[in-house]
Amino acid sequence: MKIPVIVWTLITITFAGLNQAEELKEEDVRISVARLLTEAQKYDGCTVCVQGELVGDIFRARGGFWVNLLEGDQCIGLWIPDGLKLGIGRLGGYQVRGDIVRVQGTFYRHCQKHHGGMDIHVVSWQTILPGYEDREEVTGEEFLSVALFGIIGLCTVFLLKIISRRQSGSSHNGENQRAGSGLL
């Protein structure tokens, strides 16, 4: 009795191990968000691994929260259940680069839980690179050149206005003189 149980256990463990290894292998293959979106039907319901920058805001919802992941010029929503422990440092925005994360989760083309939206239900999470501020230096020269451009331009227009007023004034005077001589 003992031998069959040991054999069965060994076979089960081996199969489970093989399956685990295969699953991990599949999960480890990173898919680009662009490919995921264009081949949504193929990956629907599959475990996928995507990497990208967290951008925008966090939206709380019942049982978890939403955050969006950007890779290249494509973005996808990540659903993160409450139980998952993770630390989000920064979210990408103006002059801020968000955390670069690698997430594993199940991709849904039409998520039943979330009214049919396209999303990834995150299972595990790894921060590859923490976010940082990406401030653009503004030089005084930039402001000065714009101000100079404005002042010179407006002065030119103002001068133009004075000249045209004088010209129209002198032409009016001429007309008045001609009219007066006519009367005389």
Partner 1 sequence: MIPNFSREDIKIIGYYLGLMITALAVVLCFPLLVALFAQEWAAVPDFLFAIFICLIFGFALQTIFPAAEDINWRQGMCVVALTWVITMFISAIPLYLSGHFLSYLDACFESMSAYATTGLVLIQDLDHLSLSHNFWRHLMCFTGGQGIILVGLIFLFRGSGALRMYIGEGRDARILPNIKSTARFIWLVSFTYLVLGSLLLAGTLMMTGVSFPRAVFHGVCIFMAGWDTAGFAPQSLNILYYHNILFEILTVVFCFLGAVSFGVHYSVWTGHFRELRENYELRVLMASVMVFYLFTLLGFSKSMSQFTGVGDFFRSTFYQLISGHTGVGFSNIPSCELAGWTELSLLGIIFAMGLGGCTNSTSGGIKALRVGLFIKSLRKEVKRFVYPEGASIEEHFHHQRDVLVDDQQVRTSMGLTICFVLLYLSGALLGTFLGYGFLPSLFESVSASANVGLSVGITSPAMPSILKIWYIFQMWCGRLEFIAILILFRFFVTLGKK
Contacting positions for partner 1 (CB under 8 A): 37-38, 40-41, 55-61, 65-66, 68, 70, 73-77, 79, 92-97, 109-112, 114-119, 136, 138, 142-143, 146-147, 149-150, 153-154, 156-158, 160-161, 164, 168
HSE-CB of 35 using CA atoms within 13 angstroms: 10
Q: How far is the CB of 3 from partner 1 (least distance, A)?
A: 48
Distance of CA 79 to the CA centre of its chain: 16
3-state secondary structure of 44: coil
Q: How far is the CB of 149 from partner 1 (least distance, A)?
A: 6
Q: How far is the CB of 77 from partner 1 (least distance, A)?
A: 5
3-state secondary structure of 19: helix
Phi first, then psi: what are they for 10, rounded to 5°? -60, -45
Q: How far apart are the first and last CA of the chain?
A: 141
Please identify, using beta-carbon distances, which residue of 8 and 132 lies nearer to partner 1.
132
Q: How far is the CB of 30 from partner 1 (least distance, A)?
A: 19
3-state secondary structure of 57: strand
Please identify, using beta-carbon distances, which residue of 49 and 91 lies nearer to partner 1.
91
